[in-house]
Chains A and B, each alone.
Chain A
């Protein structure tokens, strides 16, 4: 099988979906330009023409409501935002209109819309260009929320999102774009709402979201070196969350660590903890623990970012604490290879 980067996998999916279904349109600020949203939309405008792939004015509010109108008249809009922070300008349309439209009409009018947005850390992006906002979307009934962490899932989940008759918010961490993986060439769907166990283990269950999946796998390898066997679960879909494998895993390990790529307060991690607390009451050997962003706005400078964002080291330390192990010497381990790789200005 070929290896593709996450960005190439997303781009291939958009080409295949637009080819397969003439009702798919793809738009957003900067979508047809030469940089093409981290390379994920490059060439779409040339291939499918300006009616099906277009740039927009700086008008997130209208372009979101516009998606609802277009969907009601038979199109399948894919609206792309280069930062998830810009979606905050679209929340009225997303939350008051799109999420509940089908419900309000008694199920007569499905709205197949995909909102793709880039989340997370880049190059000193600061407080306004770095959010995840998972819980903003997962909180709302009627929205599906997907956050793939591998190229293969990226391609398959985007296809599933585009073919889904409900609004789907598709969140991708910008550093994922360079991660490579075997990706099937033909078009395929990865089902929405199905988690994946990336690593089996008996000592501790880690549920990780988006970029934290990469960090959790790294941490699991380090922990394996000292005989700690960690099970890593990537929910892939954040809403609806596939709780069954998580609950089964915690029943086996008796310990749960949630590594969320977001703030903890009132976050998705609290929701997972609550569900597991109910389902695994009496089976937990240890209180559930969580790691996530520091409880501050995101600072710009890297030295502070390194404290703000959790990483594999944060996970290793928390796992050691949960298993009453003495902290191991991590001085030889590189935890910041991705931080160094991503260079400005974007």
Chain B
């Protein structure tokens, strides 16, 4: 028992580490201008994606946001294709048309990500109706930030999903920030109480670094959706270490303090399980090196590619 627990924890840590190191590689590469598009890093928030995705199969489908690297990897998207996409090469998942903000890997159920906040939430509701109509035993998951909750479409989506008892899991990745504006300066209501008002079951995870708890909760909620249950709603509190967009730190810019981050570092699984991490570093590095080498070798798209994929 202890052993299997250990194996599972190792897998979760490995995924978390892989995502963190990929994004650190992005930071390292950024000054070279090889990645010429905005990057919204999830550093600090990776355990949320890893935990949520652990019990998902490729049949479960997920819609997410521009902060999507972690979900792409956790859902099973291929690393070389991710790196080539960030490089804007033909070998990228979308041949350079997506870049960092619009990652999709439909073959593993990663359906898409949008840079217009809250705009993929209704896609999940539609996909959930499709699952119900077609009798597919699959779960539909939509990931969004705390800022997305301020858009009308979020409310409309909760209502419709609840009205039709659709198998969709709404997940609020709550880092209490929208760009540089803290949650308390944007919202006059309690997010959880509000979600409950739509007659949807709500669950809250206070520690977004608790990989096992997130994974267990996700497993339970997804099982309920797959067996015909109606919508579920989950909020996970977490923290973004880096600036909203870009590779830098921004603790001197005045809207938040480094002390805030330090609170989260205390439970960060990659520090907590530093011994495990040490053992994994070499494997993680070579996986990333291979992905970068693939991206470097992949050719750039040209004029003919511009005109494909549109009638």
Q: How far is the CA of A237 from the CA of B247 in the complex (A)?
A: 38
Query: Inside 8 A of A304's CB, which chain B residues have their CB?
Result: 88, 96-97, 301-302, 305-306
- Please judge, given known A-B contacts A301-B300, A344-B36, A344-B37, whether A59 and B150 are in contact too, CB under 8 Å: yes
Q: B218 interface residue, CB < 8 Å from A?
A: no
Q: B260 interface residue, CB < 8 Å from A?
A: no
Chain A interface helix/strand/loop/mixed: loop
Contact B150 A58 (CB under 8 A): yes
Q: B254 interface residue, CB < 8 Å from A?
A: yes
Interface centre among B38, B102, B117, B187 (most CB of A within 10 A): B38
For residue B56, give the distance in angstroms from its CB to the closest CB of chain A.
26
Q: A191 interface residue, CB < 8 Å from B?
A: no
Query: Inside 8 A of B28's CB, which chain A residues have their CB?
Result: none
Q: How far is the CA of A126 from the CA of B103 in the complex (A)?
A: 12
Q: B99 interface residue, CB < 8 Å from A?
A: yes
Which B235-261 residues have a C-beta within 8 angstroms of A?
243, 245-247, 253-255
Q: B275 interface residue, CB < 8 Å from A?
A: no
For residue B244, give the distance in angstroms from its CB to the closest CB of chain A.
9
Contact B301 A303 (CB under 8 A): yes
Contact B99 A303 (CB under 8 A): no
Interface centre among B97, B102, B178, B187 (most CB of A within 10 A): B97
Q: B186 interface residue, CB < 8 Å from A?
A: yes
Contact A345 B306 (CB under 8 A): no
Contact B305 A343 (CB under 8 A): no
Which residue of B is nearest A296, CB measured?
B310
Contact B98 A126 (CB under 8 A): yes
Q: How far is the CA of A200 from the CA of B190 in the complex (A)?
A: 62
Query: Inside 8 A of B152's CB, which chain A residues have their CB?
Result: 59, 61-62
Q: A129 interface residue, CB < 8 Å from B?
A: yes
What string of 1s and 0s marks CB contacts (under 8 Å) between B219-248 and chain A?
Answer: 000000000000000000000000101110
- Please judge, given known A-B contacts A125-B37, A125-B38, A302-B36, whether A89 and B310 are in contact too, CB under 8 Å: no
Which A41-94 residues have a C-beta within 8 angstroms of B?
55-62, 85-86, 88-89
Q: How far is the CA of A305 from the CA of B96 in the complex (A)?
A: 10
Q: B167 interface residue, CB < 8 Å from A?
A: no
Q: How far is the CA of A88 from the CA of B117 in the complex (A)?
A: 12
Q: B147 interface residue, CB < 8 Å from A?
A: yes
Q: How far is the CA of A307 from the CA of B303 in the complex (A)?
A: 6
Chain B interface helix/strand/loop/mixed: loop
Query: Inside 8 A of B97's CB, which chain A residues have their CB?
Result: 126-127, 297, 299-301, 304
Query: Inside 8 A of A89's CB, which chain B residues have their CB?
Result: 116, 151
Query: Inside 8 A of A308's CB, which chain B residues have their CB?
Result: 306
Which residue of A is nearest B40, CB measured?
A345
Contact B300 A58 (CB under 8 A): no
For residue A48, give the distance in angstroms from its CB to the closest CB of chain B.
18
Contact B102 A127 (CB under 8 A): yes
Which B130-178 residues have a C-beta within 8 angstroms of A?
147-148, 150-152, 178
Contact B99 A300 (CB under 8 A): yes
Contact B310 A297 (CB under 8 A): yes
Contact A128 B88 (CB under 8 A): no
Query: Inside 8 A of A326's CB, which chain B residues have their CB?
Result: none
Which B271-299 residues have a C-beta within 8 angstroms of A?
none
- Please judge, given known A-B contacts A58-B148, A125-B38, whether A301 and B181 are in contact too, CB under 8 Å: no
Residues in chain B within 8 A of chain A (CB atoms) = 30, 33, 36-39, 88-89, 96-102, 114-118, 147-148, 150-152, 178-181, 185-187, 243, 245-247, 253-255, 300-303, 305-307, 309-310
Q: 22 interchain pairs (CB within 8 A)?
A: A55-B185, A58-B118, A58-B186, A60-B151, A85-B116, A86-B116, A88-B116, A89-B116, A89-B151, A124-B100, A129-B38, A297-B97, A299-B97, A299-B306, A300-B102, A301-B37, A301-B88, A301-B96, A304-B306, A344-B30, A345-B243, A345-B247
Contacts A33-B179, A126-B101, A304-B97 supplied; 4 other A-B pairs, CB < 8 Å:
A295-B310, A299-B306, A303-B302, A345-B247
Residues in chain A within 8 A of chain B (CB atoms) = 29-30, 33-35, 55-62, 85-86, 88-89, 122-129, 294-297, 299-304, 307-308, 343-346
Q: Would you list the 3 A-B pairs with minimal beta carbon distance, nearest first?
A: A124-B37, A301-B88, A300-B99
